[in-house]
Amino acid sequence: MDEQARAAAAEQQPGQQPEHQPEHQRSRHPVVVIGAGPVGLAAAVHLLQRGLEPLVLEAGPTAGSAIGQWRHIRLFSPWRFNLDPAAVRLLEASGWEAPRPTALPYGGEIVDRYLAPLAALPQIAPRLQTGARVVAVTRAGLDRTHSRDREGTPFSVRARNADGTVREVTAAAVIDASGTWSTRNPLGTSGLPATGEPEAEARISAPLPDVVGRDRARFGGRRALVVGAGHSAANTLIALAELARAEPETRILWAVRGASAQKAYGGGDADGLPARGQLGSRLRRLVEAGTVELHTGFGISSLKALDSHVTVEAVDGRTLEADVVVPCTGFRPDLGILRELRLELDPAVEAPRELGPLIDPEFHSCGTVPPHGARLLAHPEKDFYIVGMKSYGRAPTFLLATGYEQVRSVAAALAGDRAAADTVQLELPETGVCSTDVGTGCDAPEPAAQDCCATEGIPS
Ligand SMILES: Cc1cc2nc3c(=O)[nH]c(=O)nc-3n(C[C@H](O)[C@H](O)[C@H](O)COP(=O)(O)OP(=O)(O)OC[C@H]3O[C@@H](n4cnc5c(N)ncnc54)[C@H](O)[C@@H]3O)c2cc1C
Q: At 426, is the pLDDT very low, low, confident or very high (cuts 50, 70, 90)?
A: confident
Per-residue confidence (pLDDT) for residue 275, from 0 to 100: 59
Per-residue confidence (pLDDT) for residue 457, from 0 to 100: 24
Atom number in ligand 1 closest to CA 42? 25
Q: Which residues line ligand 1 (CB under 6 A)?
A: 34-40, 57-60, 64-67, 70, 73, 75-77, 133-134, 177-179, 181-182, 208, 337, 388-389, 398-400, 403, 433, 440-441
Measured distance CA(410)–CA(385) in Å, rounded: 8
Per-residue confidence (pLDDT) for residue 164, from 0 to 100: 96
Does 431 or 441 have the greater pLDDT score? 431
Q: Best substitution site from 57, 58, 231, 431 to test ligand 1's pocket, by max atoms within 8 Å of Cβ?
A: 58
**3-state SS assignment for residue 356:** helix
Atom number in ligand 1 closest to CA 159? 42
Per-residue confidence (pLDDT) for residue 17, from 0 to 100: 42
Per-residue confidence (pLDDT) for residue 178, from 0 to 100: 98
Per-residue confidence (pLDDT) for residue 311, from 0 to 100: 98
Q: Say yes or no: do domains 3-182+332-422 and 198-327 share a fold.
A: yes
Q: Best substitution site from 45, 71, 75 to test ligand 1's pocket, by max atoms within 8 Å of Cβ?
A: 75
Contact criterion met (CB below 8 Å) for 215 and 245: no
- Residue 400: phi and psi, rounded to 5, are -55, -40
Q: Kindly give the distance from the C-alpha atom of residue 333 to the centroid of ligand 1, in angstroms, as a whole number.
A: 11
Q: Is the pLDDT of residue 54 over 90?
A: yes
- Residue 415: phi and psi, rounded to 5, are -85, 0
Measured distance CA(161)–CA(387) in Å, rounded: 23
Q: Is the pLDDT of residue 415 over 60?
A: yes
Q: Kindly give the distance from the C-alpha atom of residue 269 to the centroid of ligand 1, in angstroms, as a whole number.
A: 31
The pLDDT tens digits of the residues spanning 64-111 come to 999 999 999 988 889 999 999 999 999 999 999 999 999 999 999 999
Over residues 157-162, the mean pLDDT reads 97
Residues 6+ apart with CB under 8 A from 367: 428, 429, 430, 431, 432, 433, 434, 453, 454, 455
Per-residue confidence (pLDDT) for residue 427, from 0 to 100: 66
How far lies 334's CA from each of 63, 171, 330, 337, in Å?
Answer: 19, 20, 13, 7
Per-residue confidence (pLDDT) for residue 448, from 0 to 100: 33
Per-residue confidence (pLDDT) for residue 271, from 0 to 100: 54
Q: At 273, is the pLDDT very low, low, confident or very high (cuts 50, 70, 90)?
A: low
Per-residue confidence (pLDDT) for residue 403, from 0 to 100: 96
**Which range among 19-28, 97-106, 277-286, 351-360 has the greatest average pLDDT?**
97-106
Measured distance CA(434)–CA(437) in Å, rounded: 5
Whole-model pTM over 0.85: yes
Q: Is the pLDDT of residue 410 over 50?
A: yes
Per-residue confidence (pLDDT) for residue 7, from 0 to 100: 45
Can you give the residue ranges of every domain in the chain?
3-182+332-422, 198-327
Q: Taking the CA atoms of 379, 453, 411 and 116 in sequence, report the sign of the dihedral they define.
A: positive
In degrees, to the nearest 5, what angle opens at C-alpha 253 toward C-alphas 247 and 258? 155
Contact criterion met (CB below 8 Å) for 41 and 119: yes
Largest CA distance in the chain: 70
The pLDDT tens digits of the residues spanning 310-369 come to 999 999 999 999 999 999 999 999 999 999 999 999 999 999 999 998 888 776 655 567
| In the chain, % of residues over pLDDT 70 | 83
Q: Is the pLDDT of residue 402 over 60?
A: yes
CA nearest to 304, candidates 296, 314, 294, 295: 314
Over residues 176-181, the mean pLDDT reads 98
Measured distance CA(439)–CA(266) in Å, rounded: 10
CA-nearest residue, atom 31 of ligand 1 = 37
Atom number in ligand 1 closest to CA 132? 43
Which CATH number describes the domain made up of 198-327? 3.50.50.60
CA count, 13 A, side-chain hemisphere, 434: 30
Q: Report the chain's mean pLDDT, rounded to a whole number.
A: 87
Q: At 280, is the pLDDT very low, low, confident or very high (cuts 50, 70, 90)?
A: confident
Q: Best substitution site from 273, 400, 437 to test ligand 1's pocket, by max atoms within 8 Å of Cβ?
A: 400
Q: Is the pLDDT of residue 158 over 50?
A: yes
Per-residue confidence (pLDDT) for residue 9, from 0 to 100: 44
Question: Candidates 3.40.50.300, 3.50.50.60, 3.40.190.10, 3.40.50.2300; correct CATH number of 3-182+332-422?
Answer: 3.50.50.60
> Cα Rg for the chain, rounded, in angstroms?
22
Atom number in ligand 1 closest to CA 440? 3
